[in-house]
Structure formats: structure tokens, C-alpha cells
């Protein structure tokens, strides 16, 4: 009688997970950033974004002035061209602001976990589910969808951070993020 060799089950190493960033402690140790810290960081970021967008704003405003002069000419063809120019400028301005804003937040959140305003105050934004910096999807949900809704309803979405124990605003709840104080090493 021949016996077949007994095969031991092969064990595979556990899949490598992305290690925590070292800046994000376990949930019990999270220290949420306060309302006024977040407000100050947002103010700093607003100044930076305004400074970055200013040259583009100047060029667009100059083009609008040209289009307005064309509208006053009374020539129907020039008025039609100026109207189209104003429409294109309006769409372009909205698109430019959206792209620059998304690039600002998306790149800083993904690489550093905070914008320059938050970095200056020792704050970080984390994805609560993964305990990592937020990705582009969470950034879009937080910065565009959530903050738009927060502002539309009389800024109540922002004010929520001042009254909740976890200091999360509406846009944080929607995106699954939280602004925390950077843990001390």
C-alpha cells in the first residue's frame, strides 16, 4: 500500500496594507480641532487661493471690460459676439476657480494631509474610515459638495463644528473626514 505524501497547506503572507501615516493616531486618541482653529486655517487658505487666482481674475476682468465696450457699440454683430464672449468668460471663470481650488485642496490633502493654513496651525484632515489622508474622491465630496451645502443653508453646516463634541462640520460628515490636531511625536 502506497501512501501519498501529506501536503501541508501553504501559508501566504498577509496582504500589505498601506501603513498609517504616523500622523494619525488610533481613533480614541484623536484630538479634534476646534471651530476657531479651523476658521483661522480657512482664512489663511482663502488668502492664498485669492492670491493665486488674482492674475487670472485680472485677465478675465479685462476681457469682460472689452466685451462690455463691444455691447455698447450698438452694432448687432458686435453685440452678439460680445454676448458669446461674456458667456465663455463666465463658464471659463467658474471652471478655472473650480480647477484651481480642487488642485489646491486635492494636492495638499493627498501629500501632506493639510492645506498651508491647516499646516500653519498644526492641523490635519484625515479620512475616518481608513485613518489616512483623504483621497481625491473624499476631497471632492468635502470641498465642493459638502461645503456648498454647508454654505447654502445659512452656514449652519460650518457652525455644526462649533457645537458637536467631535467638532465635525457637515462637509466632514458627508466625506467621512475629520480635522484633528497633529499628534505630538
- Tell me the domain boundaries of the chain: 30-181
The yes-or-no verdict on residue 4 having pLDDT over 70 is no
- Report the share of the chain in percent with pLDDT over 90: 66
The yes-or-no verdict on residue 13 having pLDDT over 50 is no
Instruction: Work out the average pLDDT over 20-39.
Output: 71
Burial class (CB in 10 A: 0-12, 13-18, 19+), 42: middle
Task: Report how far residue 136's alpha carbon sits from residue 108's, in angstroms, rounded to the nearest whole number.
Answer: 10
Instruction: Work out the average pLDDT over 64-89.
Output: 89
Of 169, 127, 124, the closest CA to residue 31 belongs to 124
- Give the position of cell 494636492: 107
The yes-or-no verdict on residue 8 having pLDDT over 80 is no
The residue ranges of DSSP E strands in 25-176, in sequence order, are 123-127
Q: What pLDDT does residue 74 have?
A: 83
Instruction: Work out the average pLDDT over 40-56.
Output: 96
- Higher local confidence (pLDDT), 16 or 86: 86
Amino acid at each position: 500500500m502506497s501512501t501519498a505524501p501529506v501536503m501541508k497547506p501553504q501559508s501566504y503572507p498577509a496582504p500589505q496594507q498601506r501603513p498609517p501615516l504616523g500622523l494619525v493616531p488610533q481613533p480614541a486618541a484623536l484630538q479634534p480641532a476646534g471651530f476657531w482653529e479651523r476658521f483661522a486655517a480657512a482664512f489663511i487658505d482663502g488668502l492664498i487661493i485669492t492670491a493665486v487666482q488674482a492674475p487670472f481674475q485680472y485677465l478675465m476682468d479685462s476681457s469682460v471690460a472689452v466685451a462690455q465696450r463691444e455691447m455698447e457699440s450698438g452694432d448687432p454683430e458686435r453685440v452678439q459676439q460680445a454676448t458669446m464672449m461674456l458667456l465663455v468668460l463666465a463658464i471659463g471663470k467658474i471652471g478655472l476657480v473650480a480647477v484651481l481650488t480642487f488642485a489646491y485642496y486635492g494636492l495638499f490633502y493627498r501629500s501632506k494631509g493639510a492645506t498651508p493654513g491647516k499646516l500653519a496651525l498644526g492641523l490635519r484632515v484625515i479620512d475616518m474610515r481608513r485613518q489616512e489622508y483623504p483621497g481625491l474622491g473624499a476631497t471632492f465630496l468635502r470641498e465642493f459638495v459638502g461645503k456648498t451645502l454647508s454654505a447654502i443653508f445659512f452656514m449652519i453646516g460650518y457652525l455644526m463644528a462649533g457645537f458637536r463634541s467631535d467638532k465635525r462640520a457637515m462637509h466632514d460628515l458627508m466625506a467621512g473626514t475629520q480635522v484633528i490636531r497633529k499628534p505630538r511625536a
